[in-house]
Amino acid sequence: MIYEAQGQTIDLSKITRLYPAATVIAGGETAHVSLEWADIKENEVHISAFILVFDFDALGEEIKSRVELNYSTKEELIDAMKDVAQYLN
Over residues 4-37, the pLDDT tens digits come to: 999 999 999 999 999 999 999 878 889 999 999 9
Predicted TM-score of the model (pTM): 0.86
Phi, psi of 76 (to 5 degrees): -65, -40
Helix/strand/coil (H/E/C) assignment for every residue in the chain? CEEEECCEEEEHHHCCEEEEEEEEEECCEEEEECHHHHHHCCCCCEEEEEEEEEECCCCCCCCCCEEEEEECCHHHHHHHHHHHHHHHC
pLDDT, residue 26, reads 78
**What's the mean pLDDT in 64-88?**
94
CB 32 within 8 A of CB 51: yes
